[in-house]
Amino acid sequence: NQPVQSGYVKALKYDWENDKVITIDSNRINYNGYYSLKKCPRDSLDIMAYSDDEYQDFVPTYHDTTIYWQYSNTIYPESNQDSINIKVHRLINEDNGSNFISGGVFKALMIPNDALKDAVLYAKYNGEFRRFDISIANGYYIVDSLPGGTCELIADRIGYYSDYKTLQVGQLVLDTINFFLTRVTGYI
């Protein structure tokens, strides 16, 4: 119940034809938690808040308060709108360790497996978010500074079904944990 004081908000649109996430508009979050997006067309948009990096206060969260794009509240701006509030999921920054999980995110059922950029990887311990990372152009990600123990690693990307894995961090080298996400079909 405290305003976020840094980071940014993006208006996103998924291009189903070209399988791309397009940023329509983006702006910084002000010190008082407010943001303003002024270049939004009259089209369906998903609004997402992002931390400046994975060591900030919260994980990437869709409007109203979800990490899953399928459950986000899509905005249909017909005119100026205000009070489009996003309740973010805070990061727990205590007892973090020196462990990491890395790997890649790829399109399932593709030969070769095409890399997926812009997938968000969330690390949760006992239902609390600890860290996150966003996959780059080759699909690679690394979620670092993790404590040992049981971790749920969630992969989510607009246009694809989410996936997760339960991992024992600190007992094995977790440098090739790959996700193969299936594209949602019939969604327009």
Condensed to tens digits (0 to 9), the pLDDT of residues 57-105 reads 889 999 989 999 989 988 887 777 777 888 888 888 776 788 899 999 9
In this prediction, residues 1-28 reach a mean pLDDT of 88
Amino acid at 117: K
As beta bridge partners, residue 179 has 105
Give the C-alpha separation, 116 to 104, whole Å. Answer: 8
Query: Measuring CA to CA, which residue among 94, 89, 106, 82 is closest to residue 34?
Result: 82
| Alpha carbon distance 93, 145 (integer Å) | 10
* pTM of this structure: 0.88
Cβ neighbors of 182 (< 8 A, separation 6 or more) are: 108, 109, 160, 161
Of the ranges 44-58, 96-110, 127-141, 148-162, which one carries the lowest mean pLDDT score?
44-58
Name the pLDDT band for 159 (thresholds 50, 70, 90): very high
